[in-house]
Structure 1
Amino acid sequence: MPVPSYPRPPFKPQQQSFPGKTREIEPRPDHGERSYVGHGLLKGKKTLVTGGDSGIGAAVAIAYAREGADVAIAYLPEEEDDAQGIAKYVRDAGAQCLLLPGDICDRQHAQALVEKTAKTFGRIDVLVNNAAYQKYFQDFDEITLDEWERTFTTNVHAPFNLIRLALPHMPKGSSVINTASINSKRPTPNILPYASTKGAVANMTIGLAGLLADRQVRVNAVLPGPVWTPFIPAGMDPESVEHFGEQVPFGRPGQPVELASTYVLLASDTSSYTSGALVTIAGGGAVL
């Protein structure tokens, strides 16, 4: 099937408040609602995807369901409409879908969502740490300690805690997939707190791959470049949104569905020797 002619910048200048809504972004992202075709690669897997209501997480949820996996989706309560929409696609694929609204930064909620997923599905084969927080700053003086701590709490501490909580429910051969960023190696100055957390996520991924090898739990990370999601108008200034994706060789941002197959590959049993990998998907943009 040929690659669709996906939208290219310039885009309409737009901004949203965090965490952003799919229905308010123009043009609408492609999560694979009509384009992703499964091949049974994850048949019988039990999966938990944070931030699975929109963007990359939504594409992963749809792809996992169409590959035969049951999917639990963790999301913020204000994203309920988006989550319900993705849940319909998951269920239409014949998979179970468990919706888990709440803040993953809240320790009690984090424990409850892991326990509910494990109780409902019987185990957790794949944990995708995808939820994140980002804010754009014009200059350094705008970065408060509260913003710095909020970003690290959401993007680093919460994923680590979810891994810690999920491990007792993860059998041998299970997989943790973290969403890092090309910012982990090539930080964008105006999103310094976010870029710093993604460097920590990449480092954590490699370290955990070694620590959890004896448990036969694999840990990998995807490093997206510019991807068109509600996260962009919610975390960047209007001018950056207008020209988003121009900087990579492809000359456009990626669509969430274009990353889904990598998350499928990393979750599948065919990747049984892959751990500690940092997979860059950036439209030809390289990070070293």
Structure 2
Amino acid sequence: MAWFDEAYSFDKSSLNIAHITDSHLFADKSGEYFNVNTAKHFEKSLTHIAKQKPDCVIFGGDLTQDHSFESYLLFSNLINQSVLTCPVFWVPGNHDELGMLNRISGAQINAAKRITANGFDLLLINSKGPTPAGWITSNHLDEITQCLVSSSKSNVMFCHHNPLPINGYLDKHMLENGPQLLNILVNSNNVAALFHGHVHNEYTQSFRELAVYATPASSVQFVKNTVNWQQKNTGPAYRMLNISSVKGELNVKTDVVWLSE
């Protein structure tokens, strides 16, 4: 099956979407990533997201820190035990394994990579490469191009890795062919924005006329503008989006929600 073959449809022209990313869970619910209990932060985020009454949640990758299947089961259990009732979609991060993500998909956790609404689509990209840096294969770039060329709708894109440098340590692990992806998106003339995780903080950038947004982590944040890898526990965070199509015009509104520790 091609990456975008499976679709999930909403019969509405406006969607409220929560983007949460970089949970870095362990098999043990008490596991800590840089002295942060990541499961506790993820639970707190899910509880707060549910109050926003989203139509869906998009998880931006790096589910696991210890690479155990039990950490994926914990992710699934925390979602199932939360008061969140909407579908949860995902893109893979550099820490993740597609096989394990697919194993926990079903029911509320949905493996679809194309989410359709009236007037726009959301496309979820695979940026996982052979190293911690991101890489989109030529075949997948062709899939993205074809999906955009054949679409009469506006599109909003999601991936894990940052396609643009952030003037920080993680630039060594950014999406290595990010400019190629971004040029494809801009040249299609029907992409409104790209959202990503990976960088563990909030950024707003642009490439030509395309808006590029980074969502902070639910686990721990990385200090901005430093070549050294520095962490800071400022509490979990996620991003809310409202995307609406009005008379053929796509409106994308977004804000980051910070939850104090």
TM-score tier (shorter): 0.3 to 0.5
In proportion to residue count, which structure has more strand?
2
TM-score by length of 1: 0.43
Q: Could you say which structure has the higher helix fraction?
A: 1
